[in-house]
Amino acid sequence: MATYDLIIRGGTIVDGTGQMRFTGDVAVKDGLIAQVGAVQGDAAEEIDATGLIVTPGFVDIHTHYDGQATWDAEMAPSSWHGVTTVVMGNCGVGFAPAKPDRHEWLIQLMEGVEDIPGTALAEGITWEWETFPEYLDALEKLPRTVDIGTHVPHGAVRAYVLGDREEPGAVPTEEDVRQMAQIVEEGVRAGALGFSTSRTVLHKDINGVLVPGTTATAEELIEIGRAMGRAGHGVFEMASDLRREWNEFEWMGALSRETGLPVTFAALQSIAKELPLDEQIATMRAENDNGANIVAQIALRGNGIVMAWQGTVHPFVYRPSWQAIKDLPWAELKAKLLDPAFKAQLLGEANDYTGAPEDILTVVMVITQGWLMQYEMDPDFDYEPTDAETVQARAQAAGVDPQEYAYDLMCRDEGRGFIYLPILNYADRNLDFLHALQHAEDTVNSLSDGGAHCGTICDAASPTFMLQHWVRDRKRGDRISLENAIKRQCQDTARLYGLEDRGVIAPGYLADLNLIDFDRLKLGKPWLAFDLPAGCKRLLQKADGYVATIKNGVVTFRNGEWTGAAPGGLIRGPQRVELLEAAE
Q: What is the pLDDT of residues 548-574, one digit of tens each?
A: 999 999 999 999 999 999 999 999 999
**Phi, psi for residue 245 in degrees, rounded to 5:** -70, -15
Which element (helix H / strand E) includes 87? strand 83-88
For the segment 403-440, what is each residue's pLDDT rounded down to a tens digit? 999 999 999 999 999 999 998 888 777 788 899 999 99
Residues 43 and 35: beta-carbon distance below 8 Å: no
pTM of the model: 0.96
Average pLDDT, the chain: 95
CATH of the domain at 35: 2.30.40.10
Looking at the structure, tell me whether residues 128 and 150 fall in a common domain.
yes
**224/124 same-domain check:** yes
- How many Cβ atoms from other residues are within 10 Å of residue 271's Cβ? 13
Q: Which domain holds residue 411?
A: 306-424
CA distances from 79 to 72, 437, 488 (A): 11, 26, 18
Cβ atoms of 368 and 350 closer than 8 Å: no
Domain assignment present for 583: no
**Residues 383 and 463 reside in one and the same domain:** no
CATH number of the domain residue 78 falls in: 3.20.20.140
Number of domains present in the structure of the chain: 3
77 and 215 share a domain?
yes
Within a domain: 572: no
Q: Tell me whether residue 449 is in a domain.
A: yes
Are 382 and 283 in a shared domain?
Answer: no
* Mean pLDDT, residues 74-102 taken together: 98
Mean pLDDT of 46-57: 98
- Closest to 322 (Cα-Cα) out of 335, 309, 311: 309
Shared-domain flag, residues 349 and 286 = no
CB 466 within 8 A of CB 542: no
Q: What is the pLDDT of residue 500?
A: 97
CB 6 within 8 A of CB 43: yes
Instruction: Kindly state whether residues 174 and 213 are assigned to the same domain.
Output: yes
- Give the list of residues 6+ apart from residue 582 with CB closer than 8 angstroms, or none: 35, 36, 37, 507
On whether both 310 and 283 belong to a single domain, the answer is: no
Task: Answer yes or no: is pLDDT of 581 > 60.
Answer: no
Confidence of residue 580 (pLDDT cuts 50, 70, 90): low
